[in-house]
Amino acid sequence: MRDKIHKLRWHFLTGLFLATAFTWYVVYREDRHGILTVAFLDIGQGDAIYIEAPNGNQILLDAGPNKKILKALGRVIPFYDRSIDLLALSHPHLDHFGGFLYVIPRYDIGGFVSSGTAHNTSEFGIFQKSLEQKNIKNIVVHRGTKVDMGDGVVLEVLFPDREVTNTTPHDGMLVMRLVYSKTSILLTGDMEENLENYLVSLNTGGLKSQVLKVGHHGSHTSTSRTFLGYVSPTYAVISLGTDNSYGHPHKETLDILNKFGVSTLRTDIEGTIILKSDGESLIIK
């Protein structure tokens, strides 16, 4: 297997402002024979999703609530790899960003993207400081931005489509769709029904995805019938901890998924869930 060092560019293209497109360089590690890996990490109650393109480019979307992320990442990133190309945050709630406080000091981070929603908590303040200390800029992305991971893997931003600095964390959610040829995964964060309806109203056709990361840990406030009908997934993944105090996943959500014939996987039952795709077919570990 070749193990050459090769510099690649990542392009962030906004539909409107090509001039503002920026690039950075990452290290090409080894040939992965065209396989995209997406791992829904077992970090307890929260979300943490690791994405690795065939060329080795990596994104960590959310990091769970605490240092459990380090052990979970150790299962999908080799010990000698001390860098992650890009961190992304769906929204500033602790069960999504808390783990970054442990990741940032231990890995070289290429960049950070978010919807730009702020949250006035001491923990989020500490997180923002940790980014500043390592000179990691917060790049705010909007609908139309495409993060090109290379080898045909693209992360499309579906929401926000506006400035969301001062909205509530859930209303300023970063919602994205990962596409690799015939494989598509909708990454919803804690999106609730109001935003689901809004995305349906914008473009019903653009939601259809093979895999749905179920919104808000399986809460009944997300995954409406209408939304699920347009996404029409084969698989759903719920990220949550055992015996969480919210009663997630709610029975209503499981019933709807069941009614639509969606195969549902849960990190509280399966542990870390790893999807592998060659762009044609999907394998679930």
238: its two tokens: 């719920």
By CB under 5 A, residue 143 contacts Zn ion: no
Give the residue with the Cβ less far from Zn ion, 90 or 264: 90
Contact 98, 128 (CB under 8 A): no
Smallest gap from residue 93 Cβ to Zn ion (A): 3
User: CB under 8 Å to 128, separation ≥6 — which residues?
Assistant: 138
Give the residue with the Cβ less far from Zn ion, 171 or 190: 190
Give the residue with the Cβ less far from Zn ion, 29 or 93: 93
| Piece of 79-87, 88-96, 108-116, 117-125 that binds Zn ion (CB under 5 A) | 88-96
By CB under 5 A, residue 190 contacts Zn ion: yes
Give the residue with the Cβ less far from Zn ion, 42 or 190: 190
Smallest gap from residue 169 Cβ to Zn ion (A): 6
Smallest gap from residue 129 Cβ to Zn ion (A): 21
Smallest gap from residue 98 Cβ to Zn ion (A): 12
Catalogue the E-assigned strands of the chain.
7-9, 11-13, 25-27, 36-40, 49-52, 58-61, 83-84, 86-89, 108-109, 112-114, 138-140, 146-150, 153-159, 175-180, 183-187, 211-213, 235-238, 263-266, 273-277, 282-284
Stated as kind and residue range, the H or E segment containing 250 is none
- Helix (H/G/I), strand (E/B), else coil: 100: helix
Give the residue with the Cβ less far from Zn ion, 190 or 268: 190
Give the 3-state DSSP-derived string for 23-73, with helices as H, strands as E and coil as C: CCEEECCCCCCCCEEEEECCCCCCCCEEEECCCCCEEEECCCCCCHHHHHH
Q: Are strands 86-89 and 112-114 parallel, antiparallel or unpaired?
A: parallel
Contact 40, 213 (CB under 8 A): yes
Give the residue with the Cβ less far from Zn ion, 45 or 224: 45
| Piece of 12-20, 71-79, 186-194, 235-243 that binds Zn ion (CB under 5 A) | 186-194
| Piece of 101-109, 185-193, 234-242, 262-270 that binds Zn ion (CB under 5 A) | 185-193
Give the residue with the Cβ less far from Zn ion, 50 or 124: 124
Phi, then psi, of 16 in degrees rounded to 5: -95, -35
Smallest gap from residue 192 Cβ to Zn ion (A): 9
By CB under 5 A, residue 93 contacts Zn ion: yes
By CB under 5 A, residue 248 contacts Zn ion: no
By CB under 5 A, residue 268 contacts Zn ion: no
Smallest gap from residue 83 Cβ to Zn ion (A): 28
In angstroms, the CA 112 to CA 138 distance is 5
Q: Which residues contact Zn ion (rule: CB under 5 A)?
A: 93, 190
